[in-house]
Structure 1
Amino acid sequence: MGKRLLILTAGMGAGHDAVAGELARRLASADVETSVIDVLELVPLRLGDGLRRAYEAMVRSAPWTYAGIYRAFFASGRPARSSPLTAVIAARLERRIRELPPDAVVSTFHLAAQAAGHLRNTGRLTVPSLVLVTDFAVHRMWLHAGNDRYLCPDERAARAVTRRTGRPATGHAPVVRPEFRRPRGGGDRLRRLAGAGQDERIVLVSAGAWGVGAVVDTARGLAASGRYLPVVLCGRNARLRERIRDAPALGWRDDMAELMAGAYAMIDNAAGLTCREAFACGLPVISYRPIPGHGREGAEAMARDGLSFFARSPAELVDALDRLGGRALRDTRARRVAALFDAVPAERVIRSALG
């Protein structure tokens, strides 16, 4: 009989769900039965959907509000306290676990990690609870000492997690779909979509699944430089796509690996899964005007580790793009990024926990 794994995620943007889905795909080939639960759907009275909409509205229209919340509740050095919301999710999660008992639980969202850790700490979850951290910067809401093991973006983060929780932690290779490691084509599709000439340098400007951030100004500044052709990735935000006047704009795409293969660089503002996908494709990343909280902290962490640039002004942005024209610098960045993918695969650690 195969093992059974429960994966906990949350539909905040698209990154957490994408990681959960790719984990499920990888483990299915190893005779592991997987099920995926969105923990926001465990909140009664559809309040989880309200939380999702409130967060999206803050990031889109009032980012300073989220910045304050992040400083107060996420960035503190104190251990996270169990909240009433965590308790409600944990109680409903416990009922789900009783209905279909798993052999291990993996959380890919911080609220899920809190709920699973709470159940494990109180003895109501009797199987290993692992946390796969999807942020480059590990804030305190990921951390609950009840969880058995942490899978972190790199070994530096893993050491910090062990210091703060006392639990084992290791770095793991980014969890991205296989097509990003083997992108097809040489960029012809991207050039056709952008209406670009063969000599134009196309720069993807990512706004995430929700299409947030100051990407309109970013595209306008790049277009004005005359040296780069920005293509804005608007996600599912149709209004943003209509607002883009100075550059080609694309909605939600299922062929991102092929588009990335044809780009010169990518400008990102969230430090999430899209950055890992770009790294897998060998596409250089520049963080610019990141969303507050985990976006800014993640951008700083990537730049500190030499994985990307963090441009803090329009002039720095164009300068970073210019510098990427040098083969030596691109090769140096590529080697550092390649080291990420040399780390242990997350599914290998999870299979070990399944026994």
Structure 2
Amino acid sequence: MTAFGRMRKGPGQGRQSFPKDILILTSDAGSGHRSASKAVATALQRQYGEQCRVKIINPFHLPKAPAVLRLAERTYLAQIKYTPQLYHFQFEATDTRFLGQLINLGATTLMREALLELLESTPADVVVSVYPIYGHTMATLRKRDGITIPHITVITDLVSVHSAWFEPEDTLCLVPTDAACEKGLRLHMEPHQIKVTGLPVHPDFAQPPADRAALRRSLGWDPERPTALVLAGGAGIGPLVEIAEQIARRCPYAQTAVVTGKNKEAYERLMERSWPIPTHVYGFTDQIPALMHASDVLVSRAGGLTVSEGLASGLPIIIYGIVPGQERGNLTYVETHEAGLYAEEPEDVGAVLERWLQPGSEERALYAVNAREAGKPRAAERIAQWIWRVATRELA
């Protein structure tokens, strides 16, 4: 078997060599896992520069990965959009230690050959996964194929974490909350394996602008009007047009920024309208940190990454959509910290914003303070530090 030298090297063996190679395994089932991967990669590169090389790979798209994995990835968004209750049933029914292990065993059967080929051709001092199932495959490769690369799992759900995320053979499991840590311990993870770091958001969320009015002007926004930022994830699933209509009708003193992601229909509907208040429409964009820093309120679905980005930016959050299963815990986290509210219908969103977007709203200010306290804008930096300790064998 041909392999890179460092891949076979056990912890603490050999002399240190740089740069360190860090391989991040992600998924494109939704946009959150990819965004978390980029956040961790950016944090590593900013902290360690030329001392590290980071590569992000989606194993589902490897040549030897079975097509059924790519099919499952493609149909995820359709499932949560059209049959969310079925998804919820599947999530809840399989969220046990035994069934979580069974899921991981099946995934390993499908993934083992593809992942082994990847590791034989790609240098890695540590492998980091931001998606469940990869951890068990890595554990199997260590037991059966002599792979000695340390493996770290970074969990991207705040509270409702599926059992399939937890692999007892991992070197580390980096979790966003105490609740996630407690679940890992119940599933027989060891205390030394689990570190509570927060959920990795891009490091730019930790750097608010010195001049917010100047940032707004650079975006073409009114620098004075209270602003609601409306998101719907990378796929743009949600009643974006209806929410924008509610804001325009109820909040004539405000302005709206709407990000439609890959939802071209919503983008075109919003662009063709003549709005009575300033309404700024974006498609898929990498400007989310700037848009959040320039806004006063976030209106969003309950995706773990988006919620964490909003909290890291100190934005009170109105959640209007939940994927039953892993996202319900994200709403619980926001409500428990009194950092936001749930508003099921566009009319409910409009009613809350009518209060929150009033100039000088004390209610909005209180929720903003709570959001800032609940947010962990430097989570990606902490995660990068743990990864570096493993890559350099400081933590064996």
- What is the TM-score with the length of structure 1 in the denominator? 0.85
Indicate whether 1:68 and 2:98 are aligned. Answer: no
Partner of 2:42: 25
User: Which of 215, 219, 243 is matched with 2:269 structurally?
Assistant: 243
**In 1, distance between residues paired with 2:380 and 2:128?**
19
Residue type at the aligned position of 2:375: V
Residue type at the aligned position of 2:205: F
CA contact (8 A) 1:307 1:336 kept: yes
Displacement of 1:288 after TM fit?
A: 1.6
Residues 218 and 290 of structure 1: CA distance in aligned 2, closer, same or farther (over 3 Å)? farther
Specify the SS of the correspondent of 1:345: helix
> For 1:254-278, what per-residue CA distance to the aligned partner results, in whole angstroms no more than 9, with x for missing partners?
2222222221101111323222222
Residue type at the aligned position of 1:131: T
Indicate whether 1:53 and 2:74 are aligned. Answer: yes
Partner of 1:39: 59
Specify the SS of the correspondent of 1:200: coil
**In 2, distance between residues paired with 1:14 and 1:169?**
25
Indicate whether 1:163 and 2:186 are aligned. Answer: yes
Residue type at the aligned position of 2:56: V
**In 1, distance between residues paired with 2:106 and 2:303?**
29
Partner of 1:274: 306
Displacement of 1:77 after TM fit?
A: 5.8
CA contact (8 A) 2:201 2:379 kept: no
Higher deviation after alignment, 224-233 or 202-211: 224-233
| Cα RMSD, aligned residues only | 3.1
**In 1, distance between residues paired with 2:81 and 2:56?**
28
Residues 182 and 294 of structure 1: CA distance in aligned 2, closer, same or farther (over 3 Å)? same
Partner of 2:174: 151
Higher deviation after alignment, 299-308 or 132-141: 299-308
Specify the SS of the correspondent of 2:167: coil
1:263-342 to 2 correspondence within 5 Å? 263-312=295-344, 317-318=349-350, 320-321=352-353, 322=355, 325-326=361-362, 327-337=365-375, 341=378
Indicate whether 1:142 and 2:162 are aligned. Answer: no
**In 2, distance between residues paired with 1:61 and 1:191?**
39
> Computing the radius of gyration over CA atoms, which structure comes out larger, 1 or 2?
2
CA contact (8 A) 1:5 1:104 kept: yes
Residues 215 and 66 of structure 1: CA distance in aligned 2, closer, same or farther (over 3 Å)? farther
**In 1, distance between residues paired with 2:81 and 2:293?**
29
Indicate whether 1:186 and 2:212 are aligned. Answer: yes
Percent identical pairs in the alignment equals: 24
CA contact (8 A) 1:271 1:287 kept: no
Displacement of 1:23 after TM fit?
A: 2.2
Displacement of 1:118 after TM fit?
A: 3.8
Partner of 1:8: 25
Residues 159 and 295 of structure 1: CA distance in aligned 2, closer, same or farther (over 3 Å)? closer
CA contact (8 A) 2:239 2:346 kept: no
Residues 110 and 45 of structure 1: CA distance in aligned 2, closer, same or farther (over 3 Å)? closer
Displacement of 1:290 after TM fit?
A: 1.9
Higher deviation after alignment, 241-250 or 269-278: 241-250
Residue type at the aligned position of 2:162: H
Displacement of 1:231 after TM fit?
A: 2.9
**In 2, distance between residues paired with 1:302 and 1:40?**
32
Higher deviation after alignment, 169-178 or 58-67: 58-67
CA contact (8 A) 2:155 2:199 kept: no
> For 1:281-327, what per-residue CA distance to the aligned partner results, in whole angstroms no more than 9, with x for missing partners?
22222222223332233222332244443334567545654358213
Specify the SS of the correspondent of 2:53: strand
Spell out structure 1 runs of 4+ moving beyond 6 A. 191-194
Specify the SS of the correspondent of 1:249: strand
CA contact (8 A) 1:132 1:151 kept: yes
CA contact (8 A) 1:79 1:143 kept: no
Higher deviation after alignment, 205-214 or 112-121: 112-121
Indicate whether 1:234 and 2:254 are aligned. Answer: no
**In 2, distance between residues paired with 1:126 and 1:33?**
19
Indicate whether 1:353 and 2:390 are aligned. Answer: yes
